[in-house]
Amino acid sequence: MSRGLDWFDAFREVAPEWAIVLLGLVTQLGDVWFLGVVVGTVYWVSTTRRDEAAAVFGLLLAGLSLITGLKHVFALPRPERVLVEVGALPETVHPLYQATATATGYGFPSGHALMTTIVYVSLAEYLSVGTRRQRYLAAAGLVTAVCLSRVGLGVHYLADVVAGVAIGLVFLLLVWRFLDRYPGHRGTLGFGLATGLAAVALVTSNVDLDAVLLFGTSLGAFAGWQLALLARGLDARRGPIRTSRPLAARAVVVVLSVATLVALIGYYWPVLLFAGSGVLGLLAAAFVTAPVLSRLERVDSLRGRSPSRSR
């Protein structure tokens, strides 16, 4: 089945061998590890807009589950062609080639295209660096560069990346309407959506490895954010927990979520996949909670510093 245009072959004839390295480096801008570093860094340093950063973090996890489920629903293969045969490259760049310019699994829609759209456009919407126009132009440029690199490397058809961008934009338009309706709960809604889509991906992917790990990570991030909000509420003296329904509800959610992750580790330990999902969940919870706890007034006072709380 052809989902692309024939210009790839013409491009391959004129492209120099070093183009594979350049495109491979560009495509890293849409890799999960790079997007995770970007969003995680923004979340940790955004002391004044932590809730918006938490929402972007949640959308990152939600997008990963969305693409995992969609790829298994369509189950369409990747192109059977490459820009440059690995044997034509110097041996010194073979590891770089394998790490940056190859791909496995299903090809439609493009995960790089969908994820870069969700992450970079969300950052353009919620960050305050530069003007809104500048942020959106930068996001459009990054998404376009990554999409072209995927097609140029021969790991996706043109239709794959177009569909990825389109699905990402539709997803954002729908989710933003929901988040804007409840601006004070953006983080909770983002992580909650990620957990729900991870559960759906478990079913549609027939308990695929990525879906299992994403479920644990999303549930842990959701629990971590609830714990952070609980600590923030107590620091603002909205407690004790037993007299506040919102705080009590968050406490119950945290206990149930963490108990689920611990159960995955303990009960399923012989099954390393499920145990790993639980471990990732606890790590995600700690990652989400830590920067919020470090900014609370009571923690600062215990350290002998002047109070400084992020809202």
Given a cut of 90, whether residue 97 has pLDDT beyond it is no
Q: Are 300 and 287 in contact (CB under 8 A)?
A: no
pLDDT tens string 17-58: 666 778 888 999 999 999 999 999 999 998 788 899 999 999
Q: Is 148 exposed, middle or buried (0-12, 13-18, 19+ CB in 10 A)?
A: middle
**Torsion sign across C-alpha atoms 46, 47, 52, 54:** positive
Could you identify the residue written with the tokens 């889509």? 197
Give, rounded to a whole angstrom, the gap between the first and last alpha carbons of the chain: 52
Other CB atoms closer than 10 Å to residue 13's CB: what's the count? 7
Of 79, 140, 124, 101, give the one whose Cα is nearest residue 18.
Answer: 101
Could you identify the residue written with the tokens 């470090």? 294
Give the model's pLDDT for residue 242.
62
Q: How far is 151 from 155, CA to CA, in rounded Å?
A: 6
Q: Are 280 and 220 in contact (CB under 8 A)?
A: yes
Enumerate the H helices of the chain as residue ranges.
7-14, 19-27, 32-45, 50-74, 94-100, 111-126, 132-153, 158-181, 186-204, 209-235, 245-267, 272-293, 297-302
Q: How large is the C-alpha radius of gyration of the chain?
A: 21
Other CB atoms closer than 10 Å to residue 181's CB: what's the count? 9
Peptide bond before 109: cis, by omega within 30 degrees of 0? yes
Q: Are 216 and 261 in contact (CB under 8 A)?
A: yes
Q: Are 38 and 119 in contact (CB under 8 A)?
A: yes
Least-confidence region, from 32-36, 79-83, 86-90, 152-156: 86-90
Q: Are 309 and 296 in contact (CB under 8 A)?
A: yes
Given a cut of 70, whether residue 213 has pLDDT beyond it is yes
Q: How far is 79 from 107, CA to CA, in rounded Å?
A: 8
DSSP 106: -
pTM for the predicted model, two decimal places: 0.84
**Token pair recorded at residue 195:** 């957990």
Give the model's pLDDT for residue 16.
61
What value does the mean pLDDT take over residues 202-210? Answer: 87
pLDDT tens string 125-142: 988 888 899 999 999 999
Q: How far is CA 292 from CA 34, 118, 284, 302, in A?
A: 23, 24, 14, 15
